[in-house]
Amino acid sequence: MASCRRLSGAGLREVLGPAQGLLFDCDGVLWAGERAVPGAPELLERLRRSGKAALFVSNNSRRSVAELERRFSRLGFRGVRAEHVFSSALCSALFLRQRLLGGGGNGSGGGRVFVLGGEGLRGEVRDAGLRLAGEGDPGAAEPVRAVLVGYDDQFTFAKLAQACGYLRDPQCLLVATDPDPWHPLSDGQRTPGTGSLTAAVETASGRKALVVGKPNTYMFDCIVERFGVDPSRTLMVGDRLETDILFGKNCGLSTILTLTGVSRLEEAQAYMASDSAAAKALVPNYYVDSIADLIPGLDE
Amino acid sequence: MGTRPGRGTANRGGGRAGTRLRRGGVAMAGGGPRRCRRLEADAARAVLGAADTLLFDCDGVLWRGEAAVGGAAAALGRLAAAGKRLCYVTNNSSRTRAAYTEKLRRLGFPPAEPRHVFGSAYCAARYLRQALPLGAAAYVLGSPALAAELEAVGVPHLGPGPAALPGPAPADWAQAPLDPAVRAVLVGFDEHFSYAKLCQALRYLLRGGPDCLLVGTNRDHRLPLEGGTAIPGTGCLVKAVETAAQREAFIVGKPNRYMFDCVASEFDIDPTRTIMVGDRLDTDILMGNSCGLTTLLTLTGVTTLDEVKGHQESDCPARQSLVPDYYVDSIADLLPALGD
């Protein structure tokens, strides 16, 4: 079982030295709201100079990767390109493309997707070559082959009922971008997450959703396909035990918890003290107060 | 005639659950698993004769949408004429007791007073009246009917209808002022449910912590409409709030026993002389069985006999508790036993 050791001093070099790359969650790790975590841009710069890869894996399904690339730049992070960013919006679109179009992405056949989510998510689904229910030729009798539940701040009872209508067809997939029950706001409040909306759709339809995001491993499959990452030489850095750290464990990565986001050290320690195997899987190998603490572990 | 257990609190005792003591009258599945036998002829006469009170679910039992089940009104008429007490116990939170009373009248059922009708909206209002400190308010995800029931018992409330929030984005909503009097979030059937309202519910629950109650009228997944279609039920909205808040709601409706407790506090109920009539195993029949009532399934609603057989044949005690004592194809089938 992982032992949740503070990473500092000589330990930093021992762990970071052999690593070829790091996967970072974004919210609560690199930034909080509109503020970069102090030292985070410098860490990424130092990783680049050390020849280590930095890739980004986020459950946030609000933004397209193009928007995320602009966000990185706006918050002071240099050199992060859209191709380095794996959001649940992108990966859900890739997943649906695989399932509905057989990976061809040529836009013919495959049916439509009913998306519960914002324009960022809808754009990723379109970019994957899929057609959205409610768009285009209204005369098209093309069946809806998937309902995709993402972060939808315009979710309504009417949309819930509409989703259920499509899901009466057992051939229609139910997919969710991520399981997050809530997200923190910068003032300490919380806003409901995709997980709460998915729960409503599952309850109404009697179906279980296929969840693309962390802790499930599909996003790691996308990363491996594009960049050929070696799990034994890659570290996962995240702030949420139930998603980031479990994701790392599921993918065979060593994990580092940073305390600038959702999870508290006490929670990790409580999981460590638990008898349940499921709880123990949420314990990170290491923790830091902030990812800026990793900088001394890298070559000058 | 059997002896009757004591009145008042004894009737609410949970001790009756699972024990089926009979003194005189008809042996109703005493002590063993329930048998789901067709209720007809002599057995029907005996079972109905031994009962003082019948509790009826409504949708799928008495009516489907606006259409009464054929013969149902006549059967209830004869039961009333025979001196039986008839009460109505429904999870549907989108109507007031007065509205149900009016529907019963409109569809030709024996006259009922609102006090005979136990809808989940009314019972939720009663629950909050007793559970909230005086002056505390409820933030409500629900219908005008739910608001009306709260009004009628004097519980201040806000929330029904479309969300009225400043600005289009969650960042704006998180700045909207919270009413300091709110000490409960109540989730009922809400066609105006939205992410914005879910946000507000979550804010109240986080502000109050365990001091803010989370109550749901019922967990039904679907609300049946006339013509066989259905729309998402209150259970979906309850689940959304529970997931966001990472806590469990207190559920007023069947199969939980709170609604039966409301009936028992209003009337002198002897569970051993009470029949629960319903069409859903996991709400009507489960509540009836848990409260020590005789349970009668009617097949005019959502349940098939095959489903019951599946539960009967399983080894799982939870599934066994979904099996009714008796069934009929329709409550009209009781008419012959109620003749002259």
Which of A157, A185, A189 minimises the CB distance to B190? A157
Determine whether the annotation assigns residue B211 to a binding site.
Answer: no
Q: Does A270 touch chain B (CB under 8 A)?
A: no
User: SS3 of B81, please?
Assistant: helix
CA separation for the pair B28, B10 (Å, rounded):
21
**This prediction's pTM:** 0.91
* Residue tagged 């959703």 (tokens): A209
- Answer yes or no: is B254 a known binding residue: yes
* Ligand-binding site membership of B284 (annotated): no
Q: What is the pLDDT of residues A177-213, one digit of tens each?
A: 999 999 998 888 999 999 999 999 999 999 999 999 9
Q: A275, A287, A195: which is closest to A237 by C-alpha?
A: A287
Evaluated on CA atoms B157, B162, B164, B166, the torsion sign reads: positive
Q: Summarize pLDDT for A225-278 with one digit per residue, the tens.
A: 999 999 999 999 999 999 999 999 999 999 999 999 999 999 999 999 999 999
- Provide the 3-class DSSP secondary structure of residue A4: coil
Q: Which residues of A are known catalytic residues?
A: 25, 27
Beta-carbon contacts of A64 under 8 Å, excluding residues fewer than 6 positions away, are A87, A89, A90, A120, A121, A123, A124, A127
Which of A153, A154, A203 comes nearest B236 by C-beta? Answer: A203
Residues 180-199 of A with CB under 8 A from B: 181-182, 185, 187, 189-193, 195-197, 199
Distance CA A14, CA A23 (A): 18
> Residue B2: its pLDDT value, please?
37
* 3-class SS of residue A85: strand
Max intra-chain CA distance, chain B: 69
The chain B residue lying nearest A154, using CA atoms, is B195
pLDDT at position A140 is 62
- Residue A183: partners with Cβ closer than 8 Å, 6 or more residues away: A27, A60, A190, A191, A193
Residue B224 is predicted with a pLDDT of 73
Question: Do the chains contact at B242 and A185, CB–CB below 8 Å?
Answer: no
Low-confidence ranges of chain B (pLDDT < 50): 1-29
Give the Cα separation of A183 and A262 in Å (integer): 8
Q: Which among B169, B237, B246 has the least Cβ separation from residue A200?
A: B237
Residues pairing with B64 in the sheet:
B67
| Cα gap B172→B203, rounded to integer Å | 13
Residue A183 annotated as binding site: yes
Say whether the ipTM exceeds 0.90: yes
Residue with the larger pLDDT of the pair A102 and A245: A245
pLDDT attached to residue B223: 82
Inter-chain residue contact A160 with B195, CB threshold 8 Å: no
Q: Do A196 and B243 lie within an 8 Å CB cutoff?
A: yes
Asked if A200 and B239 come within 8 Å (Cβ–Cβ), the reply is yes
Identify all chain A residues contacting B203, using CB atoms and an 8 Å cutoff: 189-190
Residues of A in contact with B232 (CB under 8 A): 157, 160-161, 164, 200, 203-204
pLDDT digits (tens, 9 = 90+) for A110-134: 789 999 999 999 999 999 999 999 8
Beta carbons of A193 and B244 less than 8 Å apart: yes
